[in-house]
Amino acid sequence: MNNLEWTDKFSVGVRELDEQHQQIIALIKKLSDNQDEANQLDSDHEILCEMLNYSNTHLRDEETLLKIYEYPDFDDHRSHHQDYMNKFCEFTDEVINGKKAKISTELLDFLNDWWRHHILIEDMKYKSFFREKGISYNLPPLDGQN
């Protein structure tokens, strides 16, 4: 398993989305690091729920931004998000409902691989789109708050 680590090559040029990507990467690392802990199962559940909620928030925010700026590949991008959520929910359900006793290497590999590919390939497409449109790195917060 090759844990994902944030570097500038992951920057999509939008501060809020970059910060969210950093948080997702930190949660994946937290889940991975937790596998050696004594109270692993309880904290796995907690981290998985946090990851699920945060993934939902991030993907919703990203889709909102893409829709606002009429990103031409919006439907395809959203489809990637839906596929991720379906697969991640399957893994999460197996752990939370006791079908699996612990987090599998398969889940950790999925999270690391999916986010690496999604940010470096799929999200970089909208980075170019935003740059061509002259959209600034410092967009107002997506939730309308300062």
The tokens describing 11, both together, are 């920057």
Q: What's the pLDDT at 39? A: 57
- How does the average pLDDT of the chain come out, rounded? 86
Q: Residue 123 sits in which domain range?
A: 12-133
Specify burial of residue 17 (Cβ count, 10 A radius: 0-12, 13-18, 19+).
Answer: buried
What pLDDT does 28 receive?
94
Instruction: Establish if 76 belongs to a structural domain.
Output: yes
**Per-residue confidence band for 135, with pLDDT thresholds at 50, 70 and 90:** confident
In the chain, the amino acid numbered 133 is K
Average pLDDT over residues 106-135: 92
pLDDT band at 140; cut points 50, 70, 90: low
Asked if the structure places residue 110 within a domain, the reply is yes
Higher pLDDT, 86 or 104: 86
95, 96, 63: which is closest to 77 by C-alpha? 63
Structural domain count, the chain: 1
Token pair in block for residue 18: 């970059």
- Local structure of residue 94 (DSSP, 8 states): H
For residue 67, is it within any domain? yes
Is 93 inside any structural domain?
A: yes
CATH of the domain at 86: 1.20.120.50
In a domain, 1, yes or no: no
DSSP 35-85: GGSTTHHHHHHHHHHHHHHHHHHHHHHHHHHHHHTT-TTHHHHHHHHHHHH
Percent of the chain surpassing pLDDT 90: 56
Helix (H, G, I), strand (E, B) or coil at 140: coil
pTM of structure: 0.86
Q: How far apart are CA 40 and CA 72, in angstroms?
A: 43
The two tokens of residue 72 are: 């031409």
Residue 146's pLDDT band (cuts 50, 70, 90): very low
